[in-house]
Amino acid sequence: MSKKIIATTSLAGCFGCHMSILDIDERILDLIELVEFNKSPVDDIKTFTKQVDIGIIEGGCCNSENVEVLKSFRDNCDILISLGECAIMGGLPAMRNGIPIEECIHEAYINGPTVKLNEEKILPNDAELPMLLDNVYPCHEIVKIDYFLPGCPPRADLIWDALVALITGNEMDLPYEVVKFD
Amino acid sequence: MSEEIKFKIDGKEIIAKKGQTIVEAAKDNGVYIPTLCNFEGVKPKGSCRICSVKVNNRFMTSCTTPAAPGMEVYNNTTEISDLRKSIIELLFVSGNHFCPACEKSGNCELQGLAYKYQMMVPRFPYSFKKHGVIATGPKLLKEQDRCILCQRCMKTIKDESGKRYYAFHNRGTKLEVVMDEEMSKTIPDELARQAMKNCPVGSIIYKEIGFAEPIGTRKFDKQSIGSEIETN
């Protein structure tokens, strides 16, 4: 059996879900027997070099770059997995939903209690910077997502079981303790 | 001497006392039927629909339906589980239930039900409401985006003269449960803790004790909701 190809990315996330992938401990040695990584922060490959079997998305979409990356994952991956609460429901970044963007930016760069160094009151507006979206969106509201693994972060056992089930084609066993939202 | 009523839930024989509802009789016989708006000691009103069961092939809320002899009740079928799951999903998307940031996470009944019915993602779009937090009282705060309007606090948290601490405010889509500002200043400590406990979600929070219990030791971390009732 040829190795399955995996790609991962972190959109509006904290990399905690990627940490949880590493939390499978020594099973990572079994994992590299089963899969090869393509575009991912794990191996630092920046662009897709071939069609990928499984794409793992951490984080929701808070700006235009997130949407672009997510769409490229959908185009290049056969199966997409939303990993963690942020990818599934926006998570902590989505706490800004309902607050006008202008207010968020002013709080971050001008009015916030920890802002000390911005005396000229400059707001970031470089053309290179991705535009913020009006809300933080869950990934499945932007593209079709095939599977969802909840948790903040998802338990390493859940990630491991899901990957093994997908790769081997067996049904997944879901013990009560591994599916948690926090 | 009270009269015995015999009926069946999922084929199991249930013996109920006269006047008991299906939920109460099921509980006494080791069968768990989920409830959210219903609360022991409060007159049931069947508004959240989570306790829906099939009685003689019709959907009924088991918290308001009295046990009757010979009833055929179904509680654990794929159809009913999916109905309950859809209710849980609707509650999740109609508020802001950010479990990782919630003080009640792990002890929340809505979350416990989502675990029980294995909700991985709601099938409905999120509404991302913004009603804000009311934190004027000294002991309790009310997170309005987490409130599911179950009225448990309104019906159970009262002073000695029976006056309610919580009440409805506004109508329709603006409906919310608020605490009386004057009364909130003098709420006894024990009653304030009880208010947080009675709230099935993380809407009523006792101040300054958030996240006191470590992950792994909370109510629904290892044990599924209702497992203390189920005997088999």
Q: Is A15 on the interface with B (CB under 8 A)?
A: no
- Identify the band that residue A5 occupies on the pLDDT scale cut at 50, 70 and 90: very high
Distance (Å) of CA B172 to CA B168, B175, B176: 11, 5, 9
Which of A127, A27, A126, A7 lies closest to A70 in space, CA to CA? A7
Mean pLDDT calculated for residue range A23-51? 93
pTM of the model: 0.93
pLDDT at site A1:
64
**Is residue B184 pLDDT above 90, yes or no?**
yes
**Is residue B229 pLDDT above 80, yes or no?**
yes
A109, part of any domain: no
A42, part of any domain: yes
Q: What is the dihedral of CA A139, A144, A149, A152, to 10 degrees?
A: 0
A101, part of any domain: no
Option in B105, B106, B115 nearest A179 (CB): B115
**Is residue B101 pLDDT above 60, yes or no?**
yes
Please name the fold of domain B85-222. Alpha-Beta Plaits (3.30.70)
pLDDT at site A55:
97
Which of B41, B42, B22, B40 lies closest to B32 in space, CA to CA? B22
Q: Is A171 on the interface with B (CB under 8 A)?
A: no
Among B108, B120, B121, B127, the residue to mutate for chain A (most A Cβ within 10 A): B121
Share of chain B above pLDDT 90, in %: 90
Contacts of A74 (CB under 8 A, 6+ apart): A55, A80, A143, A144
Option in A88, A174, A177 nearest B118 (CB): A174
A112, part of any domain: no
pLDDT at site A78:
97
pLDDT at site A48:
96
**Is residue B232 pLDDT above 80, yes or no?**
no
pLDDT at site B230:
86
A117, part of any domain: no
Across chain B, mean pLDDT equals: 93
Pinpoint the residues of chain B covered by CATH 3.30.70.20: 85-222
Mean pLDDT calculated for residue range B175-192? 94
Pinpoint the residues of chain B covered by CATH 3.10.20.740: 4-76
pLDDT at site A119:
86
**Is residue B90 pLDDT above 80, yes or no?**
yes
CATH of domain B4-76: 3.10.20.740
Residues of A in contact with B125 (CB under 8 A): 141
Q: What is the dihedral of CA A134, A139, A141, A142, to 10 degrees?
A: 80
A17, part of any domain: yes
- The length of chain B is 232
Tokens in use for B168?
Answer: 């409805």
Contact B83, B95 (CB under 8 A): no
Among A17, A89, A103, A173, the residue to mutate for chain B (most B Cβ within 10 A): A89
Contact A37, A9 (CB under 8 A): no
Q: What is the pLDDT of residues B48-60, one digit of tens each?
A: 999 999 999 999 9
CB contact under 8 A, B100 and A92: yes
pLDDT at site B22:
96
Which of A17, A169, A176 lies closest to A79 in space, CA to CA? A169
**Is residue B1 pLDDT above 80, yes or no?**
no
Q: What is the pLDDT of residues B121-166, one digit of tens each?
A: 999 999 998 888 999 999 999 999 999 999 999 999 999 999 999 9
Domain count, chain A: 1
CA A29 to chain centre: 23
Residues of B in contact with A97 (CB under 8 A): 128, 130
**Is residue A172 pLDDT above 90, yes or no?**
no
Determine the residue of chain A that is closest to B132 in CA distance: A98
Option in B96, B111, B125 nearest A181 (CB): B111
Mean pLDDT calculated for residue range A161-174? 90
Contacts of A105 (CB under 8 A, 6+ apart): A123, A124, A132
Mean pLDDT calculated for residue range B6-26? 95
d(CA B193, CA B204): 9
Share of chain A above pLDDT 90, in %: 86
Which of A41, B18, A1 lies closest to B7 in space, CA to CA? B18
pLDDT at site B3:
83
Domain residue limits at A43 = 4-96+135-178
Q: Is A162 on the interface with B (CB under 8 A)?
A: no
User: How large is the angle between the packed helices A156-168 and A27-34, nearest 10 degrees?
Assistant: 30
Distance from CA of B86 to the nearest CA of A (A): 16
CB contact under 8 A, A180 and B115: yes
pLDDT at site B231:
66
A88, part of any domain: yes
CATH of the domain at A85: 3.40.50.700
pLDDT at site A15:
96
Identify the contact set of chain B against chain A, taking CB-CB distances under 8 A.
92, 96, 98-102, 105-106, 111, 114-115, 118, 120-122, 125-126, 128-130, 215, 221-222, 224
